[in-house]
Amino acid sequence: MPAVQETIDQVRQIDVDQYKYGFETLIEMEKAPKGLNEDIIRFISAKKDEPEWMLEWRLNAYRRWLTMEAPSWARVEYPKIDFNDIYYYAAPKSMAGPKTLDEVDPELLRTYEKLGIPLREQEILAGVQESKIAVDAVFDSVSVVTTFKKELAKAGVIFMSISEAIREHPDLVRKYLGSVVPVTDNYYATLNSAVFTDGSFVFVPKGVRCPMELSTYFRINEKNTGQFERTLIICEEAAYVSYLEGCTAPQRDENQLHAAVVELVALEDAEIKYSTVQNWFPGDSEGKGGIYNFVTKRGDCRGANSKISWTQVETGSAITWKYPSCILRGDNSRGEFYSIAVSNGRQQIDSGTKMIHLGKNTSSRIISKGISAGKSNNTYRGQVSAHRKATNARNFTQCDSLLIGNNCGAHTVPYIEARNSTAQFEHEATTSKISEDQLFYCLQRGIPEEEAIALIVNGFVKEVIQELPMEFAVEAQKLIGISLEGSVG
Amino acid sequence: MNVQSKKPITAAEQSLLDRYSERRDALQGDASVTELRDGLVHDFAQTGLPGRRIETWHYTDLRTLLKSAPSDFSAEAGASAKPIVPDSIVLSARNDCQDSAIPDGMDVSSFKELLASERATDLLASKRSDDFIGRVNSMFVDGGSVVEVSKGAKLEKTIEFQNASLGGHLHTRMSVNIGEGASGTFIERQIAAGKTDSFVSSITDLTIGKGAAVTWIISQERGVSDTHLGQINIRLGEDARLTLFIANAGGHLVRQEVHVTADGENSDFALRGVNLLGGDSHTDITMEFDHLVANCVSAETLRNVVFDRARGVFQGQIRVAQIAQKTDAKMACNTLLLSDEGEFFSKPELEIFADDVQCGHGATVTDIDENHLFYLKARGISDSKARAMLVNAFISEIVEDLEQEDLVEAFENRFSEWLAQHA
């Protein structure tokens, strides 16, 4: 059955030509020469004032990267990227050395104001914003400012840019960096390891519940630059953190590369919630321009009873290649993945998750909703795997897609791998199977089936989206009303 | 997607190349066929056996699974086994030693004759770069049958084609054309008739004409050390109905590919599969279904039972073209994983370009439900008996979809026997 008008209207509102964050900030930038070689890596490392081991780590990654080939298994098509035609480092000129908010270039502050990102603590405290959020703002290759650092430090939470962390907490960074996504994990992760410029570092010590939401806002501004951020979040025993990530870029005719790596480590009883609203420039309706988003995100439930939850709302990027994953190593650990991916124009999305069950009694849940419109292609690709010793592994996967119009494609590619008899995996992609009981309950009360299904699914999605802070949820909120009628796998 | 860089040649690859050099001049076919075979061998020498980097062979990595290939060729075995359904017409898939009477409305000739004709080169080409079964079969095939069922023919008796292996290489091809409005039930029986260590490739090209209704059964019963590579290529015409039933209970390394193209509107396709896996076997069912026209229905249900150290694979891909509106496609793959050393991998894929369709898939993997077991045990049924009952029930549901009583009974018996030996 085709999509209802309500859904069509809602998707149109976030169509590619409605992109609101396409403005450019005119600010003097300092850039490394174009191209990629060992000297550029030395330049980045020197700019960041990094210790020798970090430079070695980068160079090692670069040498490995030279021997690797770009992956071609995803259902995305793009011309070969010329890695020597990209600036790997671009920072606002006024950004020499760490700054307090008062010293930050007013032009930059205006940019974040326009994007609706709260950077002034006093305003946030004065109640301009509803909830209290600490923000790390990353502009091209550098972190502009990190708010609420002092207050967080009181609780023992370390929240700063990764460049700062490498200087101030080298032991912690060295211990965890690359321990979840190894340097040689994949082509783009290896490239990132060589040239990453900034990103956020979060460390929540044992027993601490992070007192506020942490958030990083990524902005690509400069032409011909690539953004390579690296995020590392560590939750020690019984700690908790909720982290949000937002991203936008100006409207440009050429494609820009964004290759990030995010690593999460949850020790015993710890919980990490990671939410993303990805709104990179998607290109225009003819497919010109837009960001290539090649991201490696992985969480390691290292300790028993730990939990990692990924939530993503994807509306941007010309190409998305992203599989936020959980390695369920600790016994009784739990991984979750909730995703809404909307593609429009000529966007291509190949996204999903991996749940790797290694410990005993581990469980995971995957809920994925893909909506394709225009001439886009939207692929869910997910792997669920239980190893021989992962007794009582449990997974539930549900992925639904909706097509609007007749020029787009929706695809589902699940890989289900069971290696012991106690594993219990369920994968479903039909609307009729959405909790028969709930459906029956609604139908019995005279709600038509289509509305009932929408109600059930949206009830769930809403629960997730409502946990995002308002300013990041603008796009997400618009999707809430989208129902699941006419679902196809 | 399907690139594989050059790796050292494996023993099995070398063996296949050697066998071709030895056999080349003795194979059936004229110069154009030989030229085509030479080309395929050349391709094979370049690409080798498919490994895990080839997406469609990810879980069945022949580079590591196929340790060796036999050095001799199988003798012709004919059709000698008792048919699955009593009173069937039994024919040899290789069209040798034919002694049953061919019913009216059906014509059978030897694939050897076809190899000598101009049509041969069209049939023998390998479909795609990852079509290893097509390639290896076309390299070596020298026997099979060509079956024509004429327009409107109603075949009352079940026709059973036996493809018996006697150890060594066996490469068979069947080309079956069901005429407009015809109907019939066919069993393609892949059996081991004697010593094992066979290496079999068997391809069936099945074309179902407008309004024809067919039940096609593939019963794979190879020996415990046999390699069986099967492929069935189906074209469904307008208003055609096909029930394809696959029963895998045998073999050491088995892959059965099913490629279906619906190119006439209102066709109806049902696939039912039962995979009984035991010992150290590796069994793979890979299906691709192309919906190219509107208003077609396809439904696939597979039930797998895994014992011992067996490994099972199901890959199912449903593709719905932009014009194939109102397609109704369902796919389910349910697995009972009864052994901690067993493994099962499933990959049910959907690729959809039409917006007014209903497509869905479900996949489950689990052990026997403790509640069900408890229910039976509470009624005084022993653990092993209760388990057997539940496994039987799990499969029976699928077998019953065959509808024809004699077929249902025959397969229920076959599966019970297999389970009694393995459980």
Query: In the predicted model, what is the mean pLDDT of residues A186-214?
Result: 91
**A468 CA to centre of own chain:** 13
pLDDT of res. B114: 84
Task: Tell me, yes or no, if A49 comes closer than 8 A to chain B by beta carbon.
Answer: no
Say how many C-beta atoms besides its own lie within 10 A of residue B382's C-beta.
Answer: 10
pLDDT band at A288; cut points 50, 70, 90: confident
For the stretch B139-165, pLDDT in tens is 999 889 999 999 999 999 999 999 998
> Residue B118 pLDDT more than 80?
no
pLDDT of res. B148: 94
pLDDT of res. B96: 72
For residue B315, give the chain A residue with the closest CA: A415
pLDDT band at A130; cut points 50, 70, 90: very low
Identify the top-confidence range among A214-218, A297-301, B23-27: A297-301
Task: Tell me, yes or no, if B55 comes closer than 8 A to chain A by beta carbon.
Answer: yes
Find all residues with CB under 8 Å of A260, minimum gap 6, and list them: A192, A199, A227, A228, A229, A230, A231, A295, A296, A297
* Dihedral angle computed from the Cα positions of residues B274, B279, B281 and B283, in that order, rounded to the nearest 10 degrees: 10
> Residue B4 pLDDT more than 70?
no
For residue B341, give the chain A residue with the closest CA: A420
Min Cα distance B323 → chain A (Å) is 9
pLDDT of res. A473: 59
Q: Which contiguous run of DSSP H or E holds residue B12?
A: helix B11-23
pLDDT of res. B314: 95
Find all residues with CB under 8 Å of A459, minimum gap 6, and list them: none
Percent of chain A whose pLDDT exceeds 70: 80
> Residue B299 pLDDT more than 80?
yes
pLDDT of res. B1: 42
Closest CA to A139 of A197, A201, A221, A215: A221
Task: Between B231 and A375, name the one with better pLDDT.
Answer: B231
pLDDT of res. A146: 74
Residues in chain B: 423
Task: Tell me, yes or no, if B330 comes closer than 8 A to chain A by beta carbon.
Answer: yes
Task: Tell me, yes or no, if A407 comes closer than 8 A to chain B by beta carbon.
Answer: yes
> Residue A265 pLDDT more than 80?
yes
pLDDT of res. A14: 66
A–B CB contacts, 8 A cutoff, strictly below: 120
* Gyration radius (Cα) of chain A, Å: 22
Q: Quote the CA–CA distance of B349 and A488 in Å, as a whole number.
A: 12
Biggest alpha carbon distance in chain B? Answer: 71
pLDDT of res. A476: 59
pLDDT of res. A57: 93
pLDDT band at A85; cut points 50, 70, 90: confident
CB contact under 8 Å between A412 and B349, yes or no, is yes
For residue B310, give the chain A residue with the closest CA: A419
What is the overall mean pLDDT for chain B? 90
Task: Between B115 and A455, name the one with better pLDDT.
Answer: B115
* φ and ψ of A173, to 5 deg: -60, -45
pLDDT of res. A153: 87
Kindly list the domain boundaries of chain A, sorted by start residue: 5-480
pLDDT band at B205; cut points 50, 70, 90: very high
HSE, side-chain direction, 13 A CA sphere, residue A353 = 34
> Residue B16 pLDDT more than 60?
yes
Closest CA to B53 of A69, A432, A73, A397: A73
> Residue A173 pLDDT more than 50?
yes
User: What angle do the packed helices B31-47 and B11-23 form, to 10 degrees?
Assistant: 170
pLDDT of res. A176: 94
pLDDT of res. B226: 93
> Residue B2 pLDDT more than 70?
no
* φ and ψ of B323, to 5 deg: -85, -5
Min Cα distance A5 → chain B (Å) is 14
Task: Between A187 and B27, name the one with better pLDDT.
Answer: A187
For the stretch B62-104, pLDDT in tens is 999 999 888 888 777 776 788 999 889 999 888 776 666 888 8
For the stretch B372-419, pLDDT in tens is 999 999 999 999 899 989 999 999 999 999 988 999 999 999 999 898
pLDDT of res. A485: 38
Query: In the predicted model, what is the mean pLDDT of residues B234-256?
Result: 95
Kindly list the domain boundaries of chain B, sorted by start residue: 11-264, 370-423
Task: Tell me, yes or no, if A255 comes closer than 8 A to chain B by beta carbon.
Answer: no
Find all residues with CB under 8 Å of B290, minimum gap 6, and list them: B260, B261, B262, B319, B321
Task: Tell me, yes or no, if B270 comes closer than 8 A to chain A by beta carbon.
Answer: no
Task: Tell me, yes or no, if A392 comes closer than 8 A to chain B by beta carbon.
Answer: no
Query: In the predicted model, what is the mean pLDDT of residues A276-287?
Result: 80
pLDDT of res. B17: 93
Q: Which contiguous run of DSSP H or E holds residue B398?
A: helix B383-399
> Residue A486 pLDDT more than 70?
no
Min Cα distance A431 → chain B (Å) is 8
Of B345, B348, B352, the CB nearest to A488: B352
On chain A, the residues whose CB falls within 8 A of the CB of B1 are 72-73
Query: In the predicted model, what is the mean pLDDT of residues A71-84?
Result: 86
pLDDT of res. B99: 63
What is the overall mean pLDDT for chain A? 81
Task: Between B243 and A291, name the one with better pLDDT.
Answer: B243
Identify the top-confidence range among A122-131, B21-30, B32-41: B32-41
Report the first-to-last Cα separation within chain A, whole angstroms. 13
pTM of structure = 0.84
> Residue A233 pLDDT more than 70?
yes
Query: In the predicted model, what is the mean pLDDT of residues A70-95?
Result: 83
Task: Tell me, yes or no, if A121 comes closer than 8 A to chain B by beta carbon.
Answer: no
On chain B, the residues whose CB falls within 8 A of the CB of A414 are 346-349, 363
pLDDT of res. A465: 60
DSSP A241-279: EEEEEEEE----SSEEEE--EEEEEE-TT-EEEEEEEE-
pLDDT band at A7; cut points 50, 70, 90: low
pLDDT of res. A382: 92
ipTM > 0.85 (yes/no): no
CB contact under 8 Å between A403 and B351, yes or no, is no
pLDDT of res. A432: 32
pLDDT of res. A488: 39
* φ and ψ of A345, to 5 deg: 55, -125
Helices (H) and strands (E) in chain A, counts: 12, 24
For residue B345, give the chain A residue with the closest CA: A417
> Residue A127 pLDDT more than 60?
no
Q: Quote the CA–CA distance of A307 and A330 in Å, as a whole number.
A: 9
Task: Tell me, yes or no, if A67 comes closer than 8 A to chain B by beta carbon.
Answer: no
> Residue B47 pLDDT more than 50?
yes
Q: Quote the CA–CA distance of A393 and B58 in Å, as a whole number.
A: 23
